[in-house]
Amino acid sequence: MEHVQHWINGQLTAGAPTATAPIHNPATGEQTAELALASSADVDTVVASARKAATAWRSTSLAARTKVLFAFRQLLAAHSDEFSAIITSEHGKVLSDAAGEVVRGLESVEYACGVPDLLKGDFTEQASTGVDVYSIRQPVGVVAGITPFNFPLMVPLWMCASAIACGNAFILKPSEKDPSASLLLAQLWKDAGLPDGVFSVLQGDKVAVDGLLQHPDVDAISFVGSTPIAKHIYETGTKAGKRVQALGGAKNHMMVLPDADLDVAADAAISAAYGAAGERCMAISVVVAVGAIADPLLDAIKSRIPSLLVGPGDQDGTDMGPLITAQHREKVVDYINRGEQEGAKVVVDGRENTSDSGYFLGCTLLDDVRPDNVAYTDEIFGPVLSVVRVDTYDEALSLINAHPFANGTAIFTRDGGAARRFQFDVQVGMVGVNVPIPVPVGYYSFGGWKSSLFGDTHIYGPEGVNFYTRRKVVTSRWPDPGSSKIDLGFPTNG
Ligand code: NAD
């Protein structure tokens, strides 16, 4: 049995674990490895190593840092297939989807390669006579990143690429469900020339997270995961005086207006609802059908589902893999049961497509879902698409704006005016116009509103650089020795 360890001070270490957890292949249900869960002593060890490394790394020139980032980018790209295989074996998503995750993660590294430009400050000459004012950005110090199971490579890259480029040391606490990608990531950082201790991996669960949250030598926390944990992280971390960004769960609505192209909308709904078995924070989980398009749209979605092949992610031709764990599949099935009991019509029933080996569950399509139905109110995080029928654009908009989750949304229409109005009216952080999964490119930033994000900073891109740096403003005078005199008056500009 393989033992998945921590990565501290540039090498694998078993640490001083008090507990372990099994890792499973979701496509077979078999245990493939055992994970060391960090103890509080391990938290102290990793933070001490990161603190020491942070001091030297912030003094390393931008030219030297950039060389490491470019080398890291090349190594990541060269190991894309290896990453995809690891992700599929522990997460279950199909290989092509895993390869897409690598590509989107690379975007964050490519953005960070421009760090000399990103860290440039402002300069004002002669703000007052003989006085110049300028701003600089400095790293915050030691950053911890706590990440979810559904993107075991991309989400860590959202964080660590910019954090490290900005001169911080970074400690990754990956999901305990699919932790192995984190160790290849660590090895590639080292191979790229990153000094030991600047990137570390602490494997673990709540003990590790709570240790990082309370540790006085951790300066900032980036979190991505479910909303209840995001709220806990934000409240605990900020109370302990840390800078925290905490991204939470989602319930993403796709509004389809009567004039939308039916096939385009149906293809988009299928792809965004069932891709990665619905285990994406930007998955579409609700279609809001406006007016007369509801019946033909439902038929078009329903007719496409039988063509989707559910199976192991590493098998050719598979469209959708298993769910992450047996417990999560039970939870998703329970949501379908309760949704049906509360009045939703099960048009396609994924419960009929399960298997004893592996955590498979078929695609489910629910119609006539009402806003008080649990299948509508809660994030299910599985292959379940709910259709809500409304008569008007205003009703559809009110529904979306009333939902506590506000991560992503999309409108499907041929009417540019309606789309423009939607982008103005909708209270959601990321909006797609005829684009069902509007994950911003790496040089914008990613984040939802309301219960989908705690804190005020989105992740990666320019807001990532803001989060990982502290700004300092310097007011400077170089007196001409010949004109120096004593003046006890309050300094004014002149
Ligand atoms: P999760 O909240 O269960 O776990 C996320 C991280 O928190 C993991 O590292 C886990 O070990 C840790 N954790 C779990 N319980 C904890 C506790 N009680 N105390 C301290 N730490 C704890 O999330 P998940 O199931 O791994 O991922 C799925 C969730 O993540 C979904 O809700 C999804 O919407 C969300 N997500 C959001 C985004 C986004 O950008 N907004 C992106 C990806 C996933």
Please tell me the predicted confidence (pLDDT) of residue 167: 98
Specify the ligand 1 atom closest to the Cα of 204: 11
User: Is the distance from the beta carbon of residue 176 to the nearest atom of ligand 1 less than 6 Å?
Assistant: yes
Please tell me the predicted confidence (pLDDT) of residue 354: 84
pLDDT bin (cut points 50, 70, 90) of residue 486 is: confident
Q: What's the gap in Å between 59 CA and the centre of ligand 1?
A: 34
Tell me the mean pLDDT in the region 381-408.
98
Q: What's the gap in Å between 149 CA and the centre of ligand 1?
A: 7
User: Is the distance from the beta carbon of residue 283 to the nearest atom of ligand 1 less than 6 Å?
Assistant: no
Instruction: Tell me which residue has its CA closest to atom 42 in ligand 1.
Output: 281
Q: What's the gap in Å between 130 CA and the centre of ligand 1?
A: 53
User: Is the distance from the beta carbon of residue 381 to the nearest atom of ligand 1 less than 6 Å?
Assistant: yes
Tell me the mean pLDDT in the region 63-67.
97
Higher pLDDT, 308 or 354: 308
pLDDT bin (cut points 50, 70, 90) of residue 353 is: confident
Residue pair 322/24 in contact (Cβ under 8 Å)? The answer is no
Percent of the chain with pLDDT over 90: 95
Mutate to test the pocket of ligand 1, among 229, 251, 378, 405 (most ligand atoms within 8 A of CB): 229
Question: What interface predicted TM-score (ipTM) does this complex get?
Answer: 0.99
pLDDT bin (cut points 50, 70, 90) of residue 131 is: very high
User: Is the pLDDT at 420 greater than 70, yes or no?
Assistant: yes
User: Is the distance from the beta carbon of residue 250 to the nearest atom of ligand 1 less than 6 Å?
Assistant: yes
User: Is the distance from the beta carbon of residue 251 to the nearest atom of ligand 1 less than 6 Å?
Assistant: no
Please tell me the predicted confidence (pLDDT) of residue 479: 82
User: Is the pLDDT at 480 greater than 90, yes or no?
Assistant: no
Tell me the mean pLDDT in the region 215-232.
98
How much is the pTM?
0.97
Percent of the chain with pLDDT over 70: 100
Please tell me the predicted confidence (pLDDT) of residue 36: 93
